[in-house]
Each structure stands twice: as structure tokens, then as C-alpha cells.
Amino acid sequence: MPTPSALIAGASIAGPALAYWLERYGWRTTIVERAPAPRTGGQNVDVNGAGLQVIRRMGLEDQVRAAHTGESGLEFVGARGQVLARFPVGDPSGMSLTSEVEILRGDLAELLVSNTSASTDYRFGDRIVALQQEGDAALVTFEQGSAERFDLVVAADGIGSDTRRLAFGDEPVVTSLGLEATWATIDRTGSDTDWWRWFNTPGGTISLRPDRHGTMRVLITRTLARGEKRNAASGRTPEEQRALLRQTFSGGGWETDRVLRALEDVEDLYFEEVGQVHAARWSNGPVVLVGDAAHCPSPMTGMGTTLAVVGAYVLAGEIAKHTALCDGLAAYERIMRPWVSQTQKLPPGVPRIANPTSRAGVAVLQAAVRVAGTRIVRGIAARTSPGRTPAQTFALPNYAHLE
């Protein structure tokens, strides 16, 4: 039997993780990435529960833990920099948003790429521009002009996946959550700490998070006005985005103006509308979706990376488990979709409840945060917390016997 071949679009998290497992099951893997080199930027991501189990089965747990950002926990701060509430990592109340294993998206991607580069053909600076099904396989045309045949094509290229569009058409799959997010890396100053500091101001939030490289990671969320055109961020230039952020947040207090000044010189400014992907189907012939391209849960859940690595593991395992590729793809979706649906369910009012648009709304939210941070409330939360996160509710299959 000839060695089966898989083409994976996207060299971030899900793509290299899938290549790792497919290679273990005897596949030849190729990853195409439109960026000219591995993308090392990005914010903190969580790996926990079933996701950490997969990382452990890959033999990468020690490396992932060694790349921990060192974040101490979450602090909510006021306009003068005063701490309103503090939730350290591992807080028994369950109200800390800092995970036991926090790693930068770029650091995790770099680990996955380096551990697959010897067995996977990486093609940077190229992308898929056409797909055509030929029998049980797919003929793929690349931007650079070549065409090749693959037994499997995988869209692992994110929430706005071009590969998904080529394979499934313009099926409406992205649901806006009414926010735009902007990410960047800025210099660390003496006022910065090892805590994730979160500041609310009318119109959005500004966060500063430490990394292990001596810099700070900025996350700015901007609440979209009612009636504002959706997905407008995709048509803006970085200069236009900087101007919009200045217009929205200048003079907002805390470290706002310092952050806005720092954004003028950054090279890794990235912004997009925050949303979820609800795809009616995850496969079409020999093409399959994985990670955010299939089921982005939004950053609000903290589960995107865990779903990506677990989805890659299950997809590869089910392909190896079944004789017919179509049966493996169907089993992958059958196993993953209920957990994904559970994870994508946001609490009522989220995310707008955490992003008030008026000064009165910010004042009410900050008062609630102060109460939530008291010893009494945290103690009650610790006693009533269910104790298991969504990442810990998934029963991870074991495919070791198939390797």
C-alpha cells in the first residue's frame, strides 16, 4: 500500500499537532503556511485538562511547563492603578482566569513545529488557492503555481479559514460576539508586574500580561456599537486601527495612554473581530476542518488551544482506527462535537457584561469585582464550585495500540 498523504493548511497549533499524530500512524504530512516564517507572536494560551493529557502523550509536557509565562494570577485595577480584586493562579474559588499552564501561543507553536520539522514538509510563504476532488483524493493548486494530489486536506488555518471557504463555499459559520480584539507586544517598564492586570473603561478593556521574554503582551477589546458594521476590522490598515484605538481610549486612565503610545512602534499589531465558528459539518469528501477553522469557541472560553490539540489528536486517531477515511472523519466529528457545543455555551450576558460601555456600567462592574474578591465571597465560591472545568469533562480516547 502506498503511504497516505495529508496536506494541512496552517502552522500554528492544530496543524503541527495533527502532523505529529498522523506521522505516528504512518502518514506523510505537508504543512502549508501563508506567512513567510513561523509566527512567534501572540498572547497567552491555556493548556489544561484533556489538552494537557495530549501534550503529555506527545512527550512535550516538560517543555511546555518550562515555557510558562510566569503569570501570578489576575488583578482587576482601577483608573489610578489601585487593585480592586486579586485572583491568584490556582485560587480555590475558581475565579482566576490564569491557568496552571500558561504559555505564549508563539512559544507553543514553535515547540510543535520544532518537534515535527524532521518528519513534516513545511512550506512557508505559500497557500492553497484551489481544491478539486478527484475520486477519493483532492487535487490542490498552490499560489506558487504548482498542483499536487493528496489523500487528505485539512483546514487548520483559523477562524477566517480560506481553505474552509474553498471546500465548503460561503456557508455562514462565524458568529460575532460584538467585540474587536487587538493584540501586541510592548516593552516592559518599572510599573509592570508578574500579574495579569485588567482595566475596564467605557467602550472596552485594556490588559497587560507578562511573558517570559522580558516584554508585556497587550490585549485591548473594543465593544462594537449597536448597528456598527460587522467584520469591519478586516478592511482596516494598522494605522487606521491605531487611530480608532486612540479615539476610543485616550485619556481613559491607568496605563491607557502609555499603551497607546507604545502601539505606534510595534511590528506585531494584530486585530480582528471576536467570534465563534459554528460549522454545520466538519468534513466534505477528503477535506476536514480542525481547530478554530472547525469550532473556534472565542478567547472568552480560554479553551481554543485545548480544543485544537485534542481535536488534532482525535482526528488522527480516528483516521488510523478506521479503514475508510470517510468513516474516520465521521467518527472524529461524532466524538468531538458534543464537547465543542458544551464549551461554546457562554454564560448569559457574556462578553458584554464584562465590557460595559458607560461610566456607570464600569462603576457597577468594578463594585461587583471588589465584592467577588473578598475573602468571604471567594470562600463561598470555593465551596460551591463544581471543581471540574470543561477541559476536564472530556473522556480522552487512547489510540496507543494503533501506532
The predicted pLDDT at position 206 comes to 96
* Cell numbers describing residue 183: 493584540
Secondary structure, 3-state, the chain: CCCCEEEEECCCCHHHHHHHHHHHCCCEEEEEECCCCCCCCCCEEECCCHHHHHHHHCCCHHHHHHCCCCCCEEEEECCCCCEEEEEECCCCCCCCCCCCCEEEHHHHHHHHHHCCCCCEEEEECCCEEEEEEECCEEEEEECCCCEEEECEEEECCCCCCHHHHHHHCCCCCEEEEEEEEEEEEEECCCCCCCCEEEEEECCEEEEEEECCCCEEEEEEEEECCCCCCCCHHHHCCHHHHHHHHHHHHCCCCCCHHHHHHHHCCCCCCEEEEEEEECCCCCEECCEEECCHHHHCCCHHHCCHHHHHHHHHHHHHHHHHHCCCHHHHHHHHHHHHHHHHHHHHCCCCCCCHHHCCCCHHHHHHHHHHHHHHCCHHHHHHHHHHCCCCCHHHCCCCCCCHHHC
In this predicted structure, the answer to whether residue 77 has a pLDDT above a threshold of 70 is: yes
* Cell numbers describing residue 34: 501563508
Average pLDDT estimate for 289-318: 94
In this predicted structure, the answer to whether residue 63 has a pLDDT above a threshold of 90 is: yes
272 backbone dihedrals φ, ψ, rounded to 5°: -165, 165
In this predicted structure, the answer to whether residue 388 has a pLDDT above a threshold of 70 is: no
Is residue 111 within 8 A of residue 64, CB to CB? The reply is: yes
CA atoms within 13 A on the CB side of 278: 11
The predicted pLDDT at position 100 comes to 79
pLDDT tens by residue, 196-245: 999 999 989 999 999 999 999 999 999 988 878 877 888 899 999 999 99
CA 396 – CA 393 distance, rounded (Å) = 9
More confident residue, 30 or 172: 30
CA 32 – CA 38 distance, rounded (Å) = 11
Q: Grid coordinates 480560506 are at which residue?
A: 162
In this predicted structure, the answer to whether residue 170 has a pLDDT above a threshold of 90 is: no
Q: To the nearest 10°, report the CA torsion of 313, 319, 320, 325.
A: -170
pLDDT tens by residue, 324-364: 999 999 999 999 999 999 999 988 777 878 888 889 988 99
| pLDDT class of 110 with cuts at 50, 70, 90 | very high
More confident residue, 225 or 263: 263
- For 296, residues 6+ apart whose C-beta sits below 8 A from its C-beta are 158, 159, 174, 275, 276, 277, 304
Average pLDDT estimate for 157-165: 94
CA 367 – CA 150 distance, rounded (Å) = 57
The predicted pLDDT at position 386 comes to 60
The predicted pLDDT at position 227 comes to 78
In this predicted structure, the answer to whether residue 53 has a pLDDT above a threshold of 70 is: yes
Average pLDDT estimate for 306-332: 97
For residue 217, give the amino acid letter: R
Lowest mean pLDDT among 122-126, 223-227, 285-289: 223-227
| pLDDT class of 385 with cuts at 50, 70, 90 | low
Residue % of the chain over a pLDDT of 70 = 98
Average pLDDT estimate for 277-306: 94
The predicted pLDDT at position 235 comes to 87
- For 151, residues 6+ apart whose C-beta sits below 8 A from its C-beta are 4, 5, 6, 136, 137, 138, 286, 325
Whole-angstrom CA distances from 373 to 101, 158, 378 are 23, 35, 6
Query: 178 forms bridges with which residues in the sheet?
Result: none
Average pLDDT estimate for 167-180: 88
The predicted pLDDT at position 391 comes to 62
74-110 per-residue burial string, b: 16 or more CB within 10 A, e: under 16? bbbbbeeeeebbbbebebebbbbbbbebbbbbbbbbb
The predicted pLDDT at position 389 comes to 65
Lowest mean pLDDT among 155-164, 273-282, 290-299, 360-369: 360-369
In this predicted structure, the answer to whether residue 387 has a pLDDT above a threshold of 80 is: no
Q: What is the mean pLDDT of the chain?
A: 91
For residue 289, give the amino acid letter: L
pLDDT tens by residue, 8-43: 999 999 999 999 999 999 999 999 999 998 887 778
More confident residue, 401 or 231: 401
Average pLDDT estimate for 372-383: 82
The predicted pLDDT at position 390 comes to 67
Average pLDDT estimate for 242-260: 94
In this predicted structure, the answer to whether residue 378 has a pLDDT above a threshold of 90 is: no
* pTM, rounded to two decimals: 0.92
* Cell numbers describing residue 182: 487587538
